[in-house]
Structure 1
């Protein structure tokens, strides 16, 4: 692979979870299409995008900064999960599964950040 981020497991996991979010938001009702679904998808995409951007041609300090952004975006997705559950557009099972997945991703990103 040509780019450093393509070898990072956290980036691969972020890509996979973004795809899961994409599947989920496609089930949302029309009134959420341009509200919660858009925000949630952009935040999920931002996790992988920040990992990639920070890893390429940057110093360790800069990479750590972008990993922090990635974690913040992942936390934003978790907050969107809560909103979706409250609005009854995300089932309890869907919430629990994605919540656990993003919790694991956040832990992994933080561990990578702490390794520098």
Structure 2
């Protein structure tokens, strides 16, 4: 199985696209601040899933899934901050946070399945 076959990687990639689209509407002054941080955190999620899978070691994969989960929590914080600053609507924030919740559950489930084998 390739990492690209993992549904959690696919959903994380979709989330990256949504974050990039959202950030296009942010003020120019945020380009090197919140926009940059949100984009890096979002990209880190599927990137760490892919890197961990490619290492062909269960321990390394689990470690990278933990890093992805950390980036996911960072992104959730940034989405909430973007809403508080008025850069996105509550509806957009809720939609994105629903995606992060789902991805978080999937990461947790994958980590559990790998450590129980």
Does TM, scored on the shorter chain, surpass 0.5?
yes
Which structure 1 residue ranges, 4+ long, deviate > 4 Å from structure 2? none
Match of 1:49 in 2: 47
- Give the match for residue 63 of structure 1: 61
* Cα distance in 2, alignment partners of residues 11 and 79 from structure 1: 21
Matches within 5 A, 1:1-116: 4-116=2-114
Cα distance between partner residues in 2 of 1:90 and 1:31: 15
Which ranges of structure 1 fall in alignment gaps of 5 or more residues? Answer: none
Shift of residue 6, structure 1, vs aligned partner: 1.1
- Offset, 1:31: 1.3
Instruction: Provide the aligned C-alpha RMSD in A.
Output: 1.0
Give the TM-score normalised by structure 2. 0.94
The CA deviation string for residues 38-78 of structure 1, in whole angstroms up to 9 with x for no partner, is 10011000000000000013311110000000011111110
Give the TM-score taking structure 1 as reference length: 0.95
- The number of residues matched between the two structures is 114
Aligned mates of 1:58, 1:87 — CA distance in 2: 42
Task: Please list every run of 5 or more consecutive structure 2 residues that lacks an aligned counterpart in the other structure.
Answer: none
